A and B are shown apart, each in its own frame.
Chain A
Amino acid sequence: MHRLDGKVALVTGGYGGIGEAVCREMGALGAKVAVAGHNAEKATACAAALKQKGYDAYGAAFDSVSVAETRRMVDEVAAHFGRLDILVNCVGLNREEKAEEVSEEQFDHVFDVNLKGAMFQAQAAARHMIKQGGGGKQVHIGSVRTMLGLRGRGYAAYCATKGGLAILCKQLAAEWAPHQINVNVVAPTFVRTAQVAKMLADPNFYNALVARIPLGRIAEPVDVANAVTFFSSPASDFITGQTLYLDGGITATQ
């Protein structure tokens, strides 16, 4: 059994479906939690809800496609709590476009949010972790699309950026291992969040989706949060550069 008492965790995309579950688990394990996202009101509200549960929490707003904003926000969180031990990056989006119709604007946007944003969140957090000494933990949210293409759908930008995230994290793990900073990826399939509620409400879509998942259901946010807390805790001190698929067995069938 591991606790995270005294640790400071920054969860970006922290008020989204996955992020909110991660924040709750982190708080329950004793971590101080910074909830960050582009919407200041939502970040503050999520932090307030965590405080109501008795956890130490802080809301911070930032624009994840701005490197300067990202650095400012990470510095703000580290200044507020006095340190930074854990980064959980739950920021990500998809803009579906058929490959022959992918626009530069949308591709750049998905790239900026999913991959460039991950790089500079990781860097800003690592600078604090290196300066503090004593290591740190970083967890980024991948996808089964880190490994698998998707037929019949316009997923070029999403697959490319989620695939890139895995090798980015492997490289960051390699460079920061001497500082005891572990960098891992949790790669889920569909997670039941408000973001995809509309798609899941369509029974044809849902049934076709779960028919491909050996465990016969989609992921719940808490499933992702449990893996994230494992990778944020001392239980995983010897694991770095890894992508753990949390997909009900989808990638095992491939």
Chain B
Amino acid sequence: MDYQIKDKLAFVTAGAHGIGEAIANLLTQEGAIVIVADQDEAALRERTGWKGTFAADLSSAAGVADAVAHVLKAFGRAPDILVNNLGLADPVPFEDLSDERWARSFDINLMGCVRTCRALLPLMAGLGSAAVVNIASDLAKQPDSSLMDYGACKSALLYLTKGLATQYAPHVRVNAVSPGPIWTRLWSRPGGIADQLAARYGVDRDAAVKRFLAERYMPLGIGEPNDVAQAVVFLASPLAKFITGANLDIGGTLRGLI
């Protein structure tokens, strides 16, 4: 399967690690010219193979504006492909989610995408044919009481995807993917989800992850970043040129089962 994206210009937000990094790498491997923005400057310096990187706090309006300006200057025009990957899930009980935490989550999980799209979509529409893929989450549709802020923002992201798909057709296609649990730093880092599950269940990390997968009925196990990247690149590519406003769930969660 040839994704037909050779020499396409692509911008990936929050791409220094995990899912974003896998997307940027697969786009590059398939011949696209990729710029990655992320706040982790040190990690960006270690990455190779991409056309460029830009360090910025994409949860702020100024950070997004700087990153977009950099991309437009480096490419000399708007990108053909935009992947909005900024997001952070930090489990907190609903009662402990302060207004400040809600606002912070809103900035990271929704406004980063809103601000990037608002700046770039009118320019991408001028190209005649462009594609956006937003990274949502299975939590956009499947509630988790410890991630209310994250899930609510991801739900909004699905709405935004459909709305922008409608508004920017036929020039810009806008689709979303909703990954279930994917093995990234979010899970593996000290104090990450694996450690939190281990503490919750009172067992070691491996056993805790296994139990989580069994409780959620996830016979395919936990996903890898590349599982998400494959779907993102497909939706961004001309192979999906009749698909817009769609969401594709990625993961063994098989949401909708009880």
Contacts and interface: CB of A to CB of B under 8 A. Distances in A.
Contacts of B30: 1
Which among B165, B224, B243, B257 has the highest number of chain A CB atoms within 10 Å? B243
Interface in A195-246: 214-217, 219-220, 223, 226-227, 229-230, 233, 235-242, 244-246
B227 interface: yes
B223 interface: yes
A178 B219 contact: yes
A3 interface: yes
Interface in A86-131: none
Contact of A230 (B1, B170, B254, B256): B1
B112 interface: no
A174 B220 contact: no
A161 B219 CA distance: 28
Q: Categorize the interface residue count of chain A.
A: 35 or more
A240 B252 contact: yes
A2 B1 contact: yes
B72 interface: no
Nearest to B244: A249
Interface stretch (B10-18, B57-65, B234-242): B234-242
Contacts of B165: 214, 249, 252
A170 to B, nearest CB: 6
B239 A216 contact: no
Contact of A242 (B161, B227, B243, B248): B248
Contacts of A48: none
A29 interface: yes
A173 B251 CA distance: 12
Q: Is the interface of B mostly helix, strand, loop or mixed?
A: loop
A248 interface: yes
A230 B239 contact: yes
A237 B3 CA distance: 17
Interface in B148-171: 161-162, 165-166, 169-170
Interface in B120-150: none
Interface of A: 1-3, 29, 170, 173-174, 177-178, 180, 188, 214-217, 219-220, 223, 226-227, 229-230, 233, 235-242, 244-249, 251-253
Interface of B: 1-3, 30, 161-162, 165-166, 169-170, 173, 217, 219-220, 223-224, 227, 230-231, 234, 239-246, 248-252, 254, 256-257
23 contacts: A1-B3, A177-B252, A215-B169, A215-B173, A223-B241, A226-B240, A227-B239, A229-B1, A233-B1, A235-B231, A236-B230, A236-B231, A237-B227, A238-B251, A242-B248, A246-B246, A248-B244, A249-B165, A249-B169, A249-B245, A252-B166, A253-B166, A253-B245
